[in-house]
Structure 1
Amino acid sequence: MFAADQAINAAAIITSSLRVNRLVHTELNRIVQGIPGARALLVIDEKGKLLHDSYKYPVLPLDLSDRSYFKEALSTEGIVIGEQVIGRTSGAPFVPIAKRIGELTFVVVISPYVLVDLQNECGDCWSSAVRKSDNNIITMFPPEGDLVPGLVLQLKPYLKNKDTGSLVVRYKHSVFSVVWTKSAEFPLLNISVRGLTDSAAVEVDIN
């Protein structure tokens, strides 16, 4: 988070001081190399038009005004971590880290799985990154799991105001071990979910 915030602040200085788009692109590309897991750094104007893209030059004529991270950044002071989206041109998923400075919105394009704390000792776990402000899932691995989002939704009352914890829960017709810890880098909770045998001692039925 610190690296992304510092990069955005540096990008704001560059865009305000350089008038040659090619030079802006070159400098943004240099900056993004210092952000772990970042693929690109975008600069969007007040109407949602893409002005600069560290990944591609010349920039494509994209309207990003409908993106939720752009809308949230307009009304939020400081960093916004958006939910995972699909890139308009790349077709690849990413998590946006956005910040509005003046009339411009700066977006760091982060590979989703950088935010997921994969547990080495739990190779068969589902792992997810959940935003602390609203307990919504930002990203998860493996991505194809369709059970975990519903489980996390039911867990919201237990996750609220608790940075660490564990529960054995019954959800639908199965039993799961759920462990969560606060991310050291981002305002996220890292949650690991593992299936247990039906004979395991259940602490909470969240159906």
Structure 2
Amino acid sequence: MPKPTSPLRLLHVHAHPDDESSKGAATTAYYRNQGVAVLVATCTGGERGDILNPKMVSADNEARLPELRRSEMAAAAKILDIEQVWLGFIDSGMGPEVEPDTFAAQDVDVAAGRLVKVIRDFRPQVVTTYDENGGYPHPDHIMTHKITMAAVEAAADPTAWPEHGPAWKVTKLYYDITLHRGRYAALDRAMHEAGLESPYT
């Protein structure tokens, strides 16, 4: 777990490796450029994700997906110039049922303990996560919201999780709202203005 390296610290809590790149990367780059230390806490390993690049699709790559996700996360962390920590939960997938060993099936207050330790070690003034709907209704995104809310509260309580170090109060908590109607309306307009068929209509 990295220790604070700057007086100003920002913690992003994400569900999967790749969320740090698709949700808020420009904000991360902006604050890194200002000298703010940025840490990404990744809740799961993305084990149930999909390989979307046709050139990467193979049985071998499918079999080693967790390894690929970790290497991609390391590359993203280097590009974004951030620190990153794994919370170690298992991806729940988007299936109709949640398996009992996966992230979305965990007890919120117990699972939040891992993030409490991260918050107390890194001591961020600002934390970002998803809204109550997870930004979109993936079970892991919704669970990320739940444990972040619980962990921010518990991290400030000296009687909660005393084994995770001295209490730390987060000053501000923001929701990442990358997936919202305004964004897609703007993309739809831009597609039409460029004379292209919009998939957002």
The structure showing larger relative contact order (alpha-carbon pairs under 8 Å, at least 6 residues apart) is: 2
Question: More helix by proportion, 1 or 2?
Answer: 2
Q: TM-score, normalised by structure 2?
A: 0.25
Question: More strand by proportion, 1 or 2?
Answer: 1
